[in-house]
Amino acid sequence: MKQRAFKTLEKRIRYRFKKPALLEAALTHPSFRYENPDAAADNQRLEFLGDAVLGLLAADILMTRNPQAAEGELTKLKSAVTSGSALAAKARLIGLGEHLRLGKGEAASGGADRGSNLEDALEALLGAIWLDGGLKAARKFFENTVFQSAENSEPVIDNPKGMLQEYAQKKGYPVPDYQVLEASGPDHARRYCVEVTVSTYAFRGEGTSRREAEKMAAEKAVKCMIQKD
């Protein structure tokens, strides 16, 4: 990755890495490393760390900003802040996708704007900042880039497939039908595209497993059909 690309992203996130290799790793998708064995690392380990840091910072800030909130309310707020769709949206705002290092197949299939890739990369970036600059730097990045208040968060859908099935039954529609349209990629980075049909409506979702793709398709259906009904 060119140094100019580093500087562009660092300017957007308002953080300059002391160890640029951490930033490069955070932006490296496993598919790129699979095709380029000489690549030092991909972002999976940093994603693991970033996920933990994300939960810690979200809980800490929500506790501070909502001193009267009960545990149940805080849990819902935390789920909204740390949901995959929320993280992917924040990643798009900082243009993270354009900096991802992807394998040729993943890039050709739209991987730079795939929600799961963006979510993983943002978590990896948070983990990289934690390692590079510590708690203070990670918290600043989280507050400036990741955190969103409950007022600006989309409602969390805990069980979209269940909600969709109940809705279909209520309306007298047949049971939602899920079909795998495509399964692609190597074993270490499989991608599934699933379409769910509800009456005359159809919605598609993608994920790293059939189950995840079905959930994403159902979530789209819920948002379009139930929440706007």
Contact 87, 118 (CB under 8 A): yes
Give catalytic status of residue 98 as yes or no. Answer: no
Q: What is the Cα–Cα distance from 32 to 28, expressed in whole angstroms? A: 6
Select which of 51, 119, 132, 214 is catalytic. 51
Query: Buried (b) or exposed (e) across 149-186, using 16+ Cβ within 10 A?
Result: ebeebeebbeebbebbbebbeeeebeebebeeeeeebe
Select which of 123, 132, 206, 214 is catalytic. 123
Q: What is the Cα–Cα distance from 82 to 58, expressed in whole angstroms? A: 8
Give catalytic status of residue 35 as yes or no. Answer: no
- Tally of CB atoms within 10 A around 68: 5
Catalytic residues: 51, 123
